[in-house]
Chains A and B, each alone.
Chain A
Amino acid sequence: MNVRDTVSDQTKFHEPATAWHSLRERLTPYAFIAPFFIGFLVFQLLPIAFSIYLSFAEWNGMGSIEFLGLKNFVNMMEDGKFWNALRVTFTITLFCTIVGTSLATLLAVLLENVDDQLASILRVIFFLPSVTSVVVIGYIWKQLYSTDYGFFNSALMQLGLPPQQWLADPKLALPALLIMLIWAGLGWDSLIITAGLRSIPDEIYDAGKVDGTNGWTQFWHITLPLLQPTLLFVLVTGVIFLWGLFAQPSILTGGGPLRQTQTIAMYLYDVGFRYHKFGYASAIAVILSLIMFVSSYLNFRFVRSEAEY
């Protein structure tokens, strides 16, 4: 990794060290990163700073900003709706990462064992939801789940089973959302896992064959350990994505019934853009960013150390 230092080091020998040249030389890297960092400053750092400031204040978007100290954070601790949204988001994240990744691994491994041409067609099919707009996916499933005119209920009734209120029943809405999310994420995850599988050298499998491993033992003792960095990558990106989940539940159920599918992002949108409590919404954003940051950092360290075994 230290090789990259040589470029700038070597240049010092080749170039005449005039003042202008050395200044230019020194500014070059800044020129390359500047376009990004200007945008970064304006659209990322500035809003983050303002968000932190707002989290200690009360503001309806119109009048003056009133400083409140820690009141927003104290209120949050007692806000049942906040805890509910946290619970919903956590459930979704946990379920989708564990079940989703397992299914995706299974699918990826199975696809590797199928005729190449068929596998490539199948991969495209499973990848489709990843390239379909979440809004489109949301509305298709909303129609499928519809109590009165949806496909699932008409299928149930044809089988002589009672129809269900898939999205209107507080107990069924979250599972219904989870099914849709697993369906939508399967192809993407399994594609990345396929990439991980392909990066495992054949020699290792061959060596395993000499030792007499096959099928299940091969998967368990060779594939899975070597796949770990990839799986962790899938988990980490999945966690980041799922903590920010907004469009899918808001289209499918609008967060209902009884907030059973209301994620943190949706609650924050409600508090900020419907109730106009921008200060409180910012406080929620700050707390969640902290949670995200810590968990991502830990994951990140974990991935790094695991990848270097």
Chain B
Amino acid sequence: MKIKYLLLIVLVIASMILAAGCGPAPATKEPTGAPETEAPTGERTITVWGFVWTADWLDAIAPGFEAEHPGVKVKVERFEYDPYQDMVLTTLASGQGVPDVVTLDPMWAGDLIRNGTVLPLDKATTELNVDDFVPAGWNLYSWQGVQYGIPLDLDFQLVFYRKDAYEAAMEKLSMTEFPTNIDDFRALAAEVTKETGKPALLLSQGDYYSWYQSFLAPMGGNLINEEGTAYIFNDEKAVEALQLYSDLANVDKVAKLWNWDVDGDPMVALKAGDAMAILNGSWFATEIASGIPEMQGQWAIAPVPFGPEGRPNDAATGGACLSIPTQAQEPELAWEFIKYTMTPENQAEYFRVVSGVPSLKTSWTDPALDEVHEYFGVPIGRSVAEWSLRAAPMQLPSLEVADLIGEAITRATTGEMTPQEALNEAAEMAPPLE
């Protein structure tokens, strides 16, 4: 009996939807990102894509641009970080709903730059003052002498550590400041682990980005040689860097290996008090403050100590940039917008919203950098700005190479292969360089 009723209902709904829906019903909702929604009244719109806090900053400064350019509307679209990567890659590949300005992340910008998905910014060197930028930040997005993106923040890794645990251990070892070389750090971390019974550091298993920035670069290694002809991430320095990465977890037993794919966001472990330090860019200051508000005042930051004393770099720097997709509808206006975002005032605003220190040095005079961060109790902006001058630019490999290196790191840390074997294998499997 009941099934008759149900079928009747289904059929009624069916016919209703068919009647109403054959035509425009599925079309009632147009994608918000589509360029065809441009106003026909002669008003011009530029669409700008940003992820997480970057989008909040874009939202904050967009009205200023609209005021300077009457008749222009800035449409900021905000994405979460994880879906954003897929969104950008597939949208730019499909050419539909392409924004005019897109925020790129060094994790995956390399492919887009190399295959011509974003425009070369010819006016970058003439209309912006290159010397105003931290060289490592600027050079990140230049490839074969051409600039493809204007850098926003400097994203190089710092140690975020629990003050209570680390300071107690430092006192015990009579250290006056956070270690600046690897030997001191190993001693300190061992003490922290012993005292707290928890891992002194959380390392991401198979995370090429973190390993590259904080271990490979300070050891003096890199991914590709200077001529751009061969992979060098399996040379002596790289092997040493990977050995250290793996030893911290397996020999010293001071680091907890965290698998992002499986374990999810490591904030979980920090919140539960199961790791006493983590490596992350300065933007993480905002995340940790919102993720673990109850631990306010218990966290501090320091440059990464993973290298010999007196090394030229503490870490390599990444950092997001603004670029213009090849299929942008309004490339001219897009460039005007990027230029507008690169004023010292707007970059200082970036710092205020995102907590990432801008590449644009002229913005550093802003008092915002000296403000005491209420979560950390110190002006983190000033410290990070000063440290950033010692950062080296990252090379931007293809996602495929990044994946291979990530796997090599996992193989080495799980003990399946020696660091040398794992890195050799990755270098062999990597696609040939042009």
Q: A residues touching B (Cβ–Cβ < 8 Å)?
A: 60-63, 80, 142, 145-149, 167-170, 173, 252-259, 270, 273-276
Contact bitstring B55-87, A, C-beta under 8 A = 1, else 0: 000000000000000000000000000000010
- Given A253-B262, A257-B205, output 7 extra A-B contacts at Cβ < 8 Å: A145-B262, A168-B263, A170-B414, A254-B260, A255-B261, A256-B261, A257-B206
Q: Are B407 and A147 in contact, with the CB atoms below 8 A? A: no
Which of the residues B260, B269, B407 comes within 8 Å of A148, measured between beta carbons?
A: B269
| Chain B, residue nearest A176 (CB) | B262
Chain A nearest CB from B382 CB (Å) reads: 36
User: Which of B111-119, B160-168, B362-370 contacts its partner?
Assistant: B111-119
Determine if B230 is an interface residue (Cβ-Cβ < 8 Å). Answer: no
Q: Are A60 and B272 in contact, with the CB atoms below 8 A? A: no
Determine if B13 is an interface residue (Cβ-Cβ < 8 Å). Answer: no
Q: Are B429 and A273 in contact, with the CB atoms below 8 A? A: no
Which of the residues A80, A254, A273 comes within 8 Å of B261, measured between beta carbons?
A: A254
Show 25 residue pairs from A and B whose CB-CB distance is below 8 angstroms, ordered by the A residue: A60-B115, A61-B94, A62-B92, A62-B93, A142-B262, A146-B263, A146-B264, A148-B274, A167-B259, A167-B263, A168-B263, A253-B261, A253-B262, A254-B260, A254-B262, A256-B259, A257-B262, A257-B410, A258-B410, A258-B414, A273-B86, A273-B89, A273-B90, A275-B398, A276-B93
| Chain B, residue nearest A61 (CB) | B93
Chain B residues within an 8 Å CB radius of A256? 206, 259, 261-262, 410
Q: Interface residue tally of chain B, by bracket?
A: 35 or more
Which of the residues B117, B259, B274 comes within 8 Å of A257, measured between beta carbons?
A: B259
Please measure, in the bound complex, the distance between the C-alpha atom of A146 and the C-alpha atom of B260, giving whole angstroms.
11
Contact bitstring B232-271, A, C-beta under 8 A = 1, else 0: 0000000000000000000000000101111110001100
Chain A residues within an 8 Å CB radius of B263? 146-148, 167-168
Which of the residues B90, B94, B95, B262 comes within 8 Å of A168, measured between beta carbons?
A: B262
Chain A nearest CB from B262 CB (Å) reads: 4
Q: Are A259 and B407 in contact, with the CB atoms below 8 A? A: yes
Chain B nearest CB from A168 CB (Å) reads: 4
Chain B residues within an 8 Å CB radius of A147? 262-263
Interface of B is mostly: helix
Q: Are B95 and A62 in contact, with the CB atoms below 8 A? A: yes
Q: Are B89 and A257 in contact, with the CB atoms below 8 A? A: no
Which of the residues A63, A142, A255, A274 comes within 8 Å of B399, measured between beta carbons?
A: A274
Contact bitstring B328-360, A, C-beta under 8 A = 1, else 0: 000000000000000000000000000000000
Which of the residues B95, B111, B206, B257 comes within 8 Å of A276, measured between beta carbons?
A: B111
Chain B residues within an 8 Å CB radius of A255? 261
Please measure, in the bound complex, the distance between the C-alpha atom of A166 and the C-alpha atom of B205, giving whole angstroms.
15
* Among A142, A145, A168, A253: residue with most chain B CB under 10 A: A168
Determine if B400 is an interface residue (Cβ-Cβ < 8 Å). Answer: yes
CB-based closest 8 A-B pairs: A254-B261, A61-B93, A167-B262, A168-B259, A256-B261, A168-B262, A275-B400, A60-B115
Chain B residues within an 8 Å CB radius of A254? 260-262
Chain A residues within an 8 Å CB radius of B259? 167-168, 256-257
| Chain A, residue nearest B326 (CB) | A62
Determine if B416 is an interface residue (Cβ-Cβ < 8 Å). Answer: yes
Please measure, in the bound complex, the distance between the C-alpha atom of A61 and the C-alpha atom of B259, giving whole angstroms.
31
Chain A residues within an 8 Å CB radius of B117? 62
| Chain A, residue nearest B117 (CB) | A62
Which of the residues B89, B90, B416 comes within 8 Å of A258, measured between beta carbons?
A: B416
Please measure, in the bound complex, the distance between the C-alpha atom of A149 and the C-alpha atom of B274, giving whole angstroms.
11
Please measure, in the bound complex, the distance between the C-alpha atom of A205 and the C-alpha atom of B205, giving whole angstroms.
59
Please measure, in the bound complex, the distance between the C-alpha atom of A11 and the C-alpha atom of B398, giving whole angstroms.
67
Contact bitstring B395-430, A, C-beta under 8 A = 1, else 0: 000111001000100110010100000000000010
Chain A residues within an 8 Å CB radius of B115? 60, 62-63, 276
Chain B nearest CB from A77 CB (Å) reads: 15
| Chain B, residue nearest A79 (CB) | B429
Q: Are A274 and B89 in contact, with the CB atoms below 8 A? A: yes
| Chain A, residue nearest B95 (CB) | A62
Please measure, in the bound complex, the distance between the C-alpha atom of A146 and the C-alpha atom of B115, giving whole angstroms.
39
